[in-house]
Every structure is written in C-alpha cells, then in structure tokens.
Amino acid sequence: MVEQKGVLVCAEVTDQGRISPITLELLGIGRKLADDLGSKLSAVIMGSEIGNIAEELIFFGADNVYLVDNPLLKEYQTDPYVTALQRLSKYVTPDIIVIGQTSIGQDLAPRLAFRLKTRLTTDCINLDIDPETKLLFQTKPVYGGNVLAVYACETKPQMATVRARAMSPSGRDDSRRGKVIPFDSKIDASLLKTEVVKRVKEEAKGVKLEDADIVVSGGRGIGGPDGFKQIDDLAKLLGGAVGASRPPCDMGWVSSTCQVGLTGKIVAPNLYIAISISGTSQHFAGMLGSKNIVAINKDPEANIFKVADIGIIGDYRKVLPAFIENLRKIAAHGSE
Amino acid sequence: MNEEINIIVCIKQVPDPEGPPSAFQVDSKEMWVIPKGIPPVLSPFDENALESALHIKDTNKNVRITAISMGKKLARAVVIKALAVGADEIILLEDKNFDPKRLDCYSVAYVLATAIKKIGKYDLILLGRQAADWNFGQVGSGIAEIFEIPSITLAQNVKLEDGNVMVERVLPDGYEVIRVSMPVLITVSHEVGDLRYPSMHDIKKSKNKPITTWNIRDLGIELPQGHINLLKLFVPKQEKTCHFVEGESLEEAGANLALKLKEDKII
C-alpha cells in the first residue's frame, strides 16, 4: 500500500494564459490544509506552453508544482484532462485533492473520482482537517443552502471541489522557494473522444454578474420589464450587475442569464440588494454568500428579511427613486 | 436505414426547491432533511434533460425515450408527468434499499448503470447537471465512467447531426460547440429551457404507456457500500438581525438607506 500524503490542488489557466482567480483560493485553502497535516502542498498546472506561469504557483504557496504541458491540453477537454490528472495522481499519491467548482472542475472532478475509485464532495464552502482523525471534513450547502452538510470520506485520495469566493486567496510572496517538476502524462490523440468545433464568446453588457462587487436583483414584485429599468439604473450607478430571481426570468422581463439561484448563477458580492424578492430557498442558494444583504420588500414577513442585514419595508416604487437620488448626491459630494 | 435512436433520461424526485426555507427542516437524530408541506417534483435540471430529449424526438424520426427514476417510494403523479409530456416508457427502480441515506453518488451511478444495461439499448443518456436537493452533480459522469463512454456536462443545447451529437456546453463567458459520436452521456443545464406542459390529450394517451418497476433483485445486484459519511447536518444560523431603515415616508427611508450604506462603508 502506497502511503498517501500531501495536498494536491489543481490550478486553472485563463484564456489569456494567466493563473485564474480561483487558483489562488485553492492555494490558500490547500496551504492551510497542508500545514495542518504537516505535509507538502503540491499544485498541478495543465495546458499547452504554460511553463512561464508555473513558478508563480510557488510564490502563491505551493511547495511543488507539477507542470503537465502538452499541445493536447491547450483547451479543456474531458478525456485528456481526466487521464493526465489520473496519471499524475497515481504518481504523486496525494492524501487530498482540491479542485475548483468551475466549468472545468465540475466536469473533471467527478470523472476523476470515479476513475480513482474514491469519493468526491462537490461545491464545498469549507474544508478542515479534523485534529483527531486527520480526516478532511468537507462542508457543503444542500437543499439550496438551507442546510449545511459535513462529510468525510473513507477512501483516498479524499477529493473536494470548492465554490468560487468561498476560500481566502493566498497572497504572493516572491521569496518563496519550491520546485517546478515537469510531468509527462503520456497522453496521445487517441484519447480524444470529443471534438470542439468552436467556442463562442458572449460579451456581457456591463459588469459580469459572477464577478460583480455589487449585485442589484429584482423579483416577481417588480411587476414587469419597466421596473427593471430602475434596477438597471441603480446597478449602473453603483458599478454593479443586474440580477433577478426566477420569476422575472421565466416571464421574460429580463434575460435568463441574470438569474441568481440554484438554477442560475451563484454570486457572492460585497453588496447584494434584493428588491421585491420574497426569498425562496432556490434563490437563497445563489446569494447567501454575499457579504452585505439589503432587502426592500413591502411584505414584512418576507423570508428575505431573515437573511438581510439591512431592510426597508415598503413599495420599491416609492423607495428606489429617493435612494438613487441620494446615492447620486453622496457620490457627487464624495468627489468634491 | 433510419435505425431507432434510444434516449435514456434519468429523472430524480426532490422536494420542490421553490418552497420556502422553513419547509426544509433537519431531523438531527435521523440526520436527514424532512420536507414540510411541499410536494415532491421532478428535479428542475432533470426536467431540462427531459425537455432536451423531447426536442430531439420532435426533430428526428425513430427516437424512443425511456425515463428512469430511482427511489425508496416514488410519487406516481410525478412519474406520470414524464409520460404525459412525451416519454415512451418509464422504468421505476423502487426498493426499500434505495434509501438515500444509504446511497452515495457511486452507488446511485452503479444502480442506474445496471438498469440501463438491463434495458439494453442506449445511444444517448441524459441527466440534469445536478439534483436540486443534494446538489452533488456527479452521478452522470459516474455512469459515463462505468460505461467508459464520453460525457459532456452543462449542455445548453443538444441536437443530432449526420449521425453525431452536437452539444453546446455552457462556459462562463459563452459556450462551446462539441461534436461527439454515440453512445454518449450528457448532463443538461437550465439554459435548455423549461419542460413543456402536457395537453389533456397527452395525459389521456399516457395512461396506455408502459410503467415497469424493478427492485434490487430484478437488477441482480447488491447495493455497494457507501464510502462517504455524513457527519453533521444542520441549518446554518442565517437568521441575522435585520436593521430596518425607516423614515417619515418611504421616500425618506430610501434616502436614509443611501446614508446608512455610506456610514457602514458598504459603498
């Protein structure tokens, strides 16, 4: 039996060839877990011609960086990525593997877990080492975030994917030292079972919902597309993005890409303003990670007030214009 | 030519996620979530998967859709809905052993894969991207691993073209178009669109469609041991004390809200 030790995190590379933001969060939590176990933190970076950024992972906390550089890995495709990572995992034999709950991670991690004959907890918002058993305790929201579940896995490696913005990113320190280790994954084109015909970019107007520092969302009570013009004005004024609960999307008042919730986007901005949103569990699933929640609703019993930090009970049609006007005044005053 | 194309859609019953948070209560002794006063529904993403299958049936000849649902006890009204919208038959994997407390994603994938093998023919296997209750999102990939077939996750559009499957997969800033040959497993995202409503005619017609029930003995397997342990289940203390901003009028309250956000350095 091979001894399984250390923590392995799976770095992601952006289209521009940089290290993605969630990678820093993975290195942040990975470093903490490795320190708690008294073991090493390894990172794997997969792609094509990415040797120049591998060292940066050391500056952000990795002791070892496995560089899997292969033209077949230029863009993400399931089969070559899963196979390369499976082979690396067999070689490194980590105790824990942590991957981002991203477009790539959601595809890669489950297949890898099945192939490594282990179990995976997806979409974790907290990871801890239990001081007694040294097992990885994995906390994930279930039932639309109404309930939290803590899991531990009996098989190794213990695997988790983590939600974006749930972990603190690690800071850069150029004095950190470590090793970049090239790894030949021996993958070849016969592995490719899918063919990417094209990639289509859809430019979001204004700030992207998932990246926004401020999100202004409207619900059923907004009443129609006209009301969303006010939401849009407010979002623009604050430099934020427009969100919505499910009903306005279903009714076509706003694009369904605005939907925040279980069947939409998960956001965790600094400020989330929920206007005329009553608060179903499905909506909460998408926004409870927000740092500050403001709710405006005419129903004092609305569920949204149970999760809000600041609230106004009343019709948004009366509240919003004065709110917007005073925000403008404050902004003008601040720049004087 | 025109061979039959067999689509399998796996659909899960979950407590309605549109319910209020108070409907999801934790029984800490049983370590389980007990839904209060909300009916079971098809998991929304699985409805999207079913819609995707129906769209393929609408636009191609010789397409047969078999739905599979698994559980300890399945609500028949929910089952009938799948037939009424257009699935040709449904197979219920119903057994007291299929207690969600004893299952993990591996065992669910194993049971579903065994049932699909027993059905025999599969060209396209569709599931929702994740279940609306436990939200793991890995049973689909697991079935693909068991069958050693390709999988494509997070599909927003699935269509057949010259004997291949063309899938649009959602990306954070757009989508990618992927070509793959059958058999293939695809998990479907909500961008596909909502499940259609059945007409009265469809509901009537569905009464003649086959509903087959298999228990664990019919499948000829033993339930694999779960290897992931649920240690703790709790309702997070999210009941914050909401600070209510007031004023002489709602307009004044609105203006005061701007001041409050500034004072608290939130903006």
ipTM of the complex: 0.92
Counted across chains A and B, CB pairs separated by less than 8 A come out at: 273
Which percentage of chain A shows pLDDT scores above 70? 98
Q: How confident is the model at residue A332 (pLDDT cuts 50, 70, 90)?
A: confident
pLDDT in tens, A277-297: 999 888 998 999 899 999 999
Residue B28 burial (C-beta neighbours within 10 Å; 0-12, 13-18, 19+): exposed
Whole-angstrom Cα distance, residue A79 to residue A192?
6
Pairing of the two strands A147-153 and B24-27: unpaired
Whole-angstrom Cα distance, residue A82 to residue B204?
46
Verify that B113 and B201 share a domain, yes or no.
yes
Asked if the Cβ–Cβ distance from B172 to A310 is below 8 Å, we say no
Asked if the Cβ–Cβ distance from A323 to B153 is below 8 Å, we say no
- Burial string for A224-261 (b: 16+ CB within 10 Å, else e) reads eeebbebbbebbeebebbbbbbbbbbeeebbebbbbbb
Nearest 5 degrees, angle CA A297-CA A300-CA A305? 70
DSSP state, residue A169 = P
Q: How confident is the model at residue A2 (pLDDT cuts 50, 70, 90)?
A: low
- pLDDT at residue A1 is higher than 60: no
The CATH-assigned architecture of domain A209-334 is: 3-Layer(aba) Sandwich (3.40)
Whether the CB-CB separation of A114 and B106 falls below 8 Å is answered with: yes
Tokens of B130: 């994740």
Residue B193 forms part of a structural domain: yes
- On the question of a common fold for A7-191 and A209-334, the answer reads yes
Question: Where in the sequence is the domain holding B256, given as residue range(s)?
Answer: 237-267
Residue A212's closest CA among A260, A255, A262, A263? Answer: A260
pLDDT, residue B32, reads: 92
Verify that B117 and B25 share a domain, yes or no.
yes
pLDDT, residue A333, reads: 80
Verify that B146 and B104 share a domain, yes or no.
yes
Task: Name the minimum distance, in Å, from the CA of A284 to any CA of chain B.
Answer: 8
Kindly state which CATH superfamily the domain A7-191 is placed in. HUPs (3.40.50.620)
Residue B265 forms part of a structural domain: yes
Verify that B62 and B168 share a domain, yes or no.
yes
pLDDT in tens, B201-246: 989 989 899 999 999 999 999 998 878 899 999 988 766 799 999 9
> Averaged over B98-122, what is the pLDDT?
95
For residue B141, give the nearest of A111, A203, A315 by CB distance.
Answer: A111
**How high does pLDDT run on average in chain B?**
94
pLDDT in tens, A210-267: 889 999 999 999 999 999 999 999 999 999 999 999 999 988 899 888 999 987 888 9
Listed in sequence order, the residues at least 6 apart from A253 whose beta carbon sits closer than 8 Å to its beta carbon are A218, A222, A224, A225, A227, A228, A244
- Burial string for B62-71 (b: 16+ CB within 10 Å, else e) reads ebbbbbbbbb
Verify that B122 and B246 share a domain, yes or no.
no
- pLDDT at residue A206 is higher than 80: no
- pLDDT at residue B88 is higher than 60: yes
Whole-angstrom Cα distance, residue B242 to residue B256?
15
Asked if the Cβ–Cβ distance from B227 to A150 is below 8 Å, we say no
| Alpha helices (H) in chain B, listed in sequence order | 44-59, 76-85, 105-119, 139-147, 200-206, 216-219, 250-263
Q: How confident is the model at residue B254 (pLDDT cuts 50, 70, 90)?
A: very high
Query: Which of chain A's residues have a Cβ under 8 Å away from the Cβ of B261?
Result: 271, 294, 310, 327
Question: Of the ranges A199-213, A255-269, A321-335, which one carries the lowest mean pLDDT score?
Answer: A199-213
Whether the CB-CB separation of A217 and A296 falls below 8 Å is answered with: no
Verify that B67 and B101 share a domain, yes or no.
yes
Listed in sequence order, the residues at least 6 apart from B201 whose beta carbon sits closer than 8 Å to its beta carbon are none
> Averaged over B5-32, what is the pLDDT?
91
**How high does pLDDT run on average in chain A?**
94
Whether A78 and chain B come into contact, CB under 8 Å, resolves to: yes
Verify that B195 and B243 share a domain, yes or no.
no
Verify that B60 and B175 share a domain, yes or no.
yes
Task: Name the minimum distance, in Å, from the CA of A79 to any CA of chain B.
Answer: 8
Whether B197 and chain A come into contact, CB under 8 Å, resolves to: no
Task: Name the minimum distance, in Å, from the CA of A317 to any CA of chain B.
Answer: 9
Verify that B185 and B248 share a domain, yes or no.
no
- pLDDT at residue B196 is higher than 50: yes
Verify that B194 and B108 share a domain, yes or no.
yes
Verify that B186 and B251 share a domain, yes or no.
no
- The structural domains of chain A, with segments of one domain joined by +, span 7-191, 209-334
Q: Which of B16, B112, B143, B145 has the most A C-beta neighbours within 10 Å, making it the best mutation to test the interface with A?
A: B145
* Longest distance between any two alpha carbons in chain B, whole Å: 77
3-state SS, residue A55: coil
pLDDT in tens, B153-194: 999 999 999 999 999 999 988 899 999 999 999 999 998 989
Query: Which of chain A's residues have a Cβ under 8 Å away from the Cβ of B191?
Result: 256
Verify that B132 and B251 share a domain, yes or no.
no
Listed in sequence order, the residues at least 6 apart from B227 whose beta carbon sits closer than 8 Å to its beta carbon are A118, A119, A153, A154, A155, B104, B106
For residue A308, give the nearest of B177, B242, B262 by CB distance.
Answer: B242
Region at B117 (left for phi over 0; alpha for psi -120 to 50; beta for the rest): alpha
> Averaged over A150-172, what is the pLDDT?
94
Residue B27 burial (C-beta neighbours within 10 Å; 0-12, 13-18, 19+): exposed
Pairing of the two strands B40-42 and B13-15: antiparallel
Whether the CB-CB separation of B134 and A142 falls below 8 Å is answered with: yes
3-state SS, residue B15: strand
Whether the CB-CB separation of B158 and B56 falls below 8 Å is answered with: yes
Number of domains in chain B: 2
* β-sheet bridge partners, residue B206: none
Question: Of the ranges A31-40, A89-98, B44-53, B71-80, which one carries the lowest mean pLDDT score?
Answer: B71-80
Query: Which of chain B's residues have a Cβ under 8 Å away from the Cβ of A279?
Result: 20-21
Query: Which of chain A's residues have a Cβ under 8 Å away from the Cβ of B22?
Result: 303
Whole-angstrom Cα distance, residue B128 to residue B140?
8
Whole-angstrom Cα distance, residue B73 to residue B92?
9
> Averaged over A119-125, what is the pLDDT?
96
Residue B185 burial (C-beta neighbours within 10 Å; 0-12, 13-18, 19+): buried
- pLDDT at residue A336 is higher than 70: no
What is the torsion angle, in degrees rounded to the nearest 10, for the CA atoms of residue B160, residue B137, residue A81 and residue A85? Answer: -160
